[in-house]
């Protein structure tokens, strides 16, 4: 599972986590980075409920083609590095799409 972070209008890849240990590590990242909102792509309902139980605002975002786009963006890297980074890069694309859509919605209001 890829994790990205945005402290402003630009999302950046942060880390790739093992899905089985993600909730515990997310709790640590939330505290460390003072996170108050989470954006997720497709995920199991059980995991979504775990995120909601953390007391943060959870937003869903379409992740169609995010892994493909991330892989394309990482073609200049070695295959080993690309495989290690593609999930975090995809998470950054998902988060960036949500940020862009939120900004557009605010400008239209």
Contact 4, 88 (CB under 8 A): yes
What is the CATH classification number for the domain harbouring 100? 3.30.420.140
Indicate the pTM of the whole model: 0.85
User: Cα-flanking dihedrals φ and ψ of residue 10, to 5°?
Assistant: -120, 125
pLDDT in tens, the chain (109 residues): 999 999 899 999 999 999 888 888 999 999 999 999 999 998 889 989 989 998 999 999 988 878 788 888 888 888 877 667 889 999 999 999 999 998 777 767 6
**Domain total for the chain?**
1
What is the extent of the structural domain holding 76?
Answer: 2-108
């Amino acid at each position: 599972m890829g994790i990205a972070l945005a402290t402003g209008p630009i999302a950046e890849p942060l880390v790739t986590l093992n899905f089985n240990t993600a909730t515990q590590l997310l709790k640590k990242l939330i505290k460390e980075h003072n996170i108050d909102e989470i954006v997720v792509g497709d995920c199991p309902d059980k995991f979504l409920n775990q995120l909601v139980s953390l007391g943060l605002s959870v937003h869903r975002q379409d992740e169609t083609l995010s892994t493909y786009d991330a892989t394309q963006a990482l073609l200049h890297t070695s295959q080993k590095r690309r495989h290690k980074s593609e999930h975090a890069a995809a998470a950054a694309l998902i988060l960036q799409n949500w940020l862009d859509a939120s900004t557009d919605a605010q400008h239209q209001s």
